[in-house]
Amino acid sequence: MNIIKPSYTIRTTGLGSCVGVVIYDKKKEIAGLAHIMLPDSSLAKSGQINVAKFADTAIKELVQILVKEGARMQFLKAKLAGGAQMFQFASGGDLMRIGPRNVEAVRKELSDLRIRVVAEDVGGNSGRTIEFNLNNCLLNIRTVTKGTKNI
Partner 1 sequence: MSFIEKINPLQLDILKEIGNIGAGNAATALSTILNRKIDMNVPNVRIVSFDEMMEMAGGADHVVASVFLRIEGDASGSMFFILSLPVAEYLIRKMIGDESFLINSVPYTELALSCLQELGNILSGSYLSSLSDFTRLNIYPSVPSLSIDMVGATISYGLLELSQVSDAAIVIDIVLEKDQLFADSINGHFFLLPDPEFFDIIFSALGV
Task: Name the site residues for partner 1 (rule: CB under 8 A).
Answer: 13-18, 37-38, 43-46, 50, 53, 84, 86-91, 95, 98, 125-129, 142, 144-145
Catalytic site positions:
18
Sorted by sequence, the CB contacts under 8 Å of residue 112 that are 6+ apart come out as none
Judged by beta carbon, residue 96 or residue 118, the one nearer partner 1 is 96
Q: In the bound complex, what is the minimum distance in angstroms from residue 140's beta carbon to partner 1? A: 13
Q: In the bound complex, what is the minimum distance in angstroms from residue 4's beta carbon to partner 1? A: 19
Judged by beta carbon, residue 14 or residue 70, the one nearer partner 1 is 14
Sorted by sequence, the CB contacts under 8 Å of residue 117 that are 6+ apart come out as 77, 78, 79, 80, 107, 110
Distance CA 9, CA 54 (A): 23
Judged by beta carbon, residue 9 or residue 50, the one nearer partner 1 is 50
Q: Are 109 and 55 in contact (CB under 8 A)?
A: yes
Q: In the bound complex, what is the minimum distance in angstroms from residue 128's beta carbon to partner 1? A: 7
β-sheet with 77-82: strand ranges across: 2-4, 30-36, 19-25, 77-82, 116-122
Q: In the bound complex, what is the minimum distance in angstroms from residue 100's beta carbon to partner 1? A: 13
Residue 49 φ then ψ, to 5° = -110, 150
Bridge partners of 120?
80
Judged by beta carbon, residue 43 or residue 118, the one nearer partner 1 is 43
